[in-house]
Chains A and B, each alone.
Chain A
Amino acid sequence: MVKEDILRLLSEISERIKVETIKDEIKVAHPFISKALEELERDGLINIQEKFISLTELGQEKAKTILEKHLVLEDYFKKTKSTIDAHIAAHILEHYVSRKVIDIIKKLSTLKKEGVPLTKFKLNKEGLITEINVSDYKLFERAVSMGLFPGEKIRVISEISHGIVLKVTNKKIALDRSVAERIKALEYEEI
């Protein structure tokens, strides 16, 4: 993970930089950085010459995709006004979110459209979860563990008097209105 951060930093600055600068910028214990640098050099992604580091061609390519991912995510989180700070959330997610999700999110953020709360989502239309905004952590964790996660495909199949029933990760889940209105989704056709 440190490795990805180093590559991103190098490409953002786009010139050779000192090892010390990296150690200042990336707030991780120094031994981790030294180890990461060693591995990056071994993989042929960077050149280290007299304490100065630069990206190799291969490294530049790799950094480009990382940077793109980062920017897409940061932009997305800013737009969706998520509870999580956009920059930092992007920083966390870029390491884990798959290419597919990135593509979708990229589309979402260029659309300048916000998701609608699940309580107002059209019945029997497919869509993607764009945001989950439940502040009680234990409830948030339960919702996520049942598949209610940004990027998952959903379909609201029924409206019940106190909430909705939806299909997510091929499972039917009944959801109280108070939770459903804190989760947003966008219809596929609008993406």
Chain B
Amino acid sequence: MKKFKILLIGQPNVGKSSLLNALVGPRVVVSNYPGTTVEITKAKKRFNKTEIEFVDTPGIYSISDRSEEEKVTENALFEENDGAIVIADAISLERSLYMALQILEAKIPTILALNFVEDAEKKGIRIDYEKLKGVLHIPVIPINPLTKKGIDKLVDTVTKIKSVSKTSFTVEYDDHIESAINEISSQIKETDISKRFISVRTLEGDEDFFKFLKNDDVIRKAKKKLKGHPKVEEDITITRYGTASFIAEKVTQITPLLEQEKNLQDEIDRILLHKIGGPLTTVAFLFATFGGLLYLGNLIQGFLTGVTESLLSSIATAEHSVLTMVLVNGLTGIAIGVSIALPYVFLFYLLLGLLEDIGILSRFIVNAEIFLKGLGLPGKAFIPLALGLGCTAPATRATRVLVSKEEQFHTASLFAFVPCSSRIAIIMGIVGFYGGMKLALSVFITSFVAGLIWAFGIKKVFKKQNEPLLLELPPYRKPLIENVLAKSWIRMKGFVYLVIPLLALGGVTYGILDMLNLTNIIIEPLSPITVWLGLPNETVIPIIFGFLQKDLTGTMLLSVLGSEISLALNNLQIYTFGVATTIGIPCIIALGMIIKEFGFKKAILLTVTSMVYGILFAGLAWRIFCCLF
């Protein structure tokens, strides 16, 4: 059987995910929002006698070393593959060609798939595919992933990709630059990568390619010869875009439309992108959905807890042995996991996926910029912060949508105050259940205030220039439900496979410690903390174990204090407990993720600082409360 490995490359919102959907089905779905996927996803499919592996890359505007997404795609270009499908947008051909021309510079066998052909025709834009094919010297195939038009032909062309000519169109730069390219090319180490591509990238200042040069002086020398030439990098960009628009104009015929009709898209944007209306609607919408989710989550959680409790009690009544202990504690862990995962995590990701696919999310980012700018963060930080309301671990990974490592870490530091679903469950399930909803709300407000104070303080630590807003707003679309479902599942998969087993394990560990009576060893030395918090000494157990697994906090509080919490703690203590467990890096899984992204030192620094800050704040908060009432 013949096997092919093909890259899928395209600018954001070019219909890459729907093409992949049409090619392999909704198994692998990538978001239409630029930047939510910063990883490569692969999907294999058999077509008759051939097997094609599609390697999906993050949507980017050009090959560059500017951000994580672009680097990921750049690296994918030179991993073993048979060629690439570049997806172009017929509505905005010159822009698509800009990137396509870059891919052609890399001398990889390329097929151009032209999407949105019908939409373009509605706008009076008609593209001559044959002519485009003639100019670029590569196959050009009009597609429509929704009606599957052109998909068979695309697959067929992929199987013949070996015969795609390698002498495709190449952008020709200014003479001086061309001679610099020649000079650099002669100083490149032995490699499979196109020497011209390496030369151009190094001239553009992409440091990732400097390793291919025989010595470091090559670029400096070449640039010295170019002295007196205007900015070389800009020149390269201008020439490339100029060439792209020149080709686009050559192959496009535009029939101007007489009157631009008012459309719903613009009408919605009139509100969502309004100077004042936009931010207001965004905030209102967020509060409404957050409240709605809490309400719905509470309902589902109540039902699920009822079911699992009755199940567990039937096991627990059996004889007391190590085995039943392991079983009961393990199952409790799983039960808690499910009752959080299903209502909070899944509902939340489902909603987020919907907003994303409809196209509203990018408008929210634009509006969030106003608020986040005050905290020294770009609007894009909205995505990881919103994801943080689900689970901190995947949200930490999502900070990659931000350009610099510093911006990423700055955002991650705020996760200490964005209650994840587990923390929300504590606030609702413990504070809300035993102390009432008003008390739960004050915990939310307290941690929000704590977060604001932290954010304004930490803003001064990160003395960085923020990435200015430059964001495409995709047209509103009807979401494909299977896409949204698949995406929500992919996002919560980590939670299900990683967090739930750890929950079970944490439960068992605690059971063993408890059986051996080891828990008391921890309680004594840590009593200063509980004294400061005005809580009974035993409560340090759920606080400490909460870090191993947040969702165990509730069960442990019950097991150290007995099931009548209201008798052991007064309302103020319940509130303090809630605040102390909410603020901080929630759990060891999140810590692991932060270590992975930012290194051990930074991660520990953040975890310890935020934990100390949280405990100090909680102690202060109840004292203030005490004086007030």
Contact = CB atoms under 8 A, between A and B. Distances in A.
Contacts of A27: 175-176
Contacts of B98: 144-145
B239 A92 contact: yes
A176 B466 CA distance: 11
Contacts of B62: 141-142, 145
Interface in B47-96: 61-62, 64, 66, 91-92, 94-95
B597 interface: no
A113 B62 CA distance: 33
A58 interface: no
Given A27-B175, A157-B266, A161-B275, A97 B242 contact: yes
A160 B472 contact: no
A97 B472 CA distance: 26
Interface string B165-209: 000000010111011000000000000000000000000110000
Nearest to B123: A170
Interface string A140-165: 11111111010110000111111101
Contacts of A174: 273, 362, 366, 469-473
B273 A158 contact: yes
Interface string B459-498: 0000000001111111100000000000000000000000
Contacts, number: 161
Interface in B262-280: 266, 269-270, 273-276, 278-279
Contacts of A142: 61-62, 64, 66, 470
B95 A146 contact: yes
A142 B243 CA distance: 17
Contact of A165 (B64, B172, B205, B366): B366
Contacts of A26: 175
A101 interface: yes
Interface string A81-100: 00111001101110111101
Contact of A88 (B229, B237, B270, B468): B229
Contacts of A141: 62, 64, 66, 204, 233, 237
B230 A89 contact: yes
Interface in A159-191: 159-163, 165, 169-176, 178-179
B230 A84 contact: yes
A96 B98 CA distance: 13
A139 B270 CA distance: 28
A147 B94 CA distance: 8
B273 A98 contact: no
Contacts of A162: 369-370, 373, 469
Contact of B243 (A29, A96, A157): A96
Given A173-B470, A175-B470, A140 B95 contact: no
A174 B473 CA distance: 7
Nearest to B468: A176
A13 interface: no
A152 B468 CA distance: 22
B247 to A, nearest CB: 9
Interface of B is mostly: helix
Interface in A35-62: none
Interface in B210-238: 229-231, 233-235, 237-238
Given A28-B175, A137-B234, A160 B249 contact: no
A127 B61 CA distance: 23
Contacts of B243: 96
A5 B174 CA distance: 11
B281 interface: no
A170 B176 contact: no
Given A85-B230, A92-B235, A144-B237, A149 B174 contact: no
Contact of B174 (A1, A32, A100): A1
Nearest to B273: A158
Contacts of B473: 165, 172-174
Contacts of A157: 266, 269, 273
Contacts of A89: 230
Interface residues of A, number: 54
A173 B365 CA distance: 12
Contacts of A32: 175
Contacts of A98: 245-246, 249-250
Contacts of B270: 158
B323 to A, nearest CB: 60
B241 interface: yes
Interface residues of B, number: 59
A96 B243 CA distance: 6
Contacts of A112: none
B103 interface: no
B243 to A, nearest CB: 5
Most buried by B among A101, A138, A173: A138
A1 B239 CA distance: 13
B179 A28 contact: yes
Nearest to B373: A162
A84 B237 CA distance: 13
Given A146-B61, A174-B366, A158 B94 contact: no
Contacts of A138: 64, 66
Contact of B91 (A83, A137, A159, A170): A170
B239 A147 contact: no
A96 B99 CA distance: 17
Given A27-B176, A84-B234, A93 B242 contact: yes
A88 B95 CA distance: 25
Contacts of A85: 230
Interface string B382-418: 0000000000000000000000000000000000000
Nearest to A92: B174
Given A84-B234, A97-B242, A145-B61, A171 B229 contact: no
A174 B278 CA distance: 13
Given A96-B243, A171-B472, A174-B469, A147 B95 contact: yes
A76 B64 CA distance: 30
A66 to B, nearest CB: 15
Q: Which one of A92, A151, A165 has the highest number of Cβ atoms from chain B below 10 Å of its Cβ?
A: A92
A172 B176 contact: no
A1 B175 CA distance: 7
Given A88-B229, A158-B273, A162-B469, A144 B238 contact: yes
Contact of B269 (A139, A158, A173): A158
Nearest to A99: B249
Given A88-B230, A101-B245, A139-B468, 12 more contacts: A2-B175, A89-B230, A144-B241, A145-B62, A160-B366, A160-B367, A170-B123, A174-B470, A174-B472, A174-B473, A175-B469, A176-B468
11 contacts: A26-B175, A29-B179, A84-B235, A96-B239, A137-B204, A138-B66, A144-B98, A158-B269, A161-B275, A161-B276, A173-B473
Interface of A: 1-2, 5, 26-29, 32, 83-85, 88-89, 91-93, 95-98, 100-101, 137-147, 149, 151-152, 157-163, 165, 169-176, 178-179
- Please name the 4 residue pairs, one residue from A and one from B, whose CB atoms are nearest each other, closest first: A96-B242, A176-B468, A169-B92, A145-B61
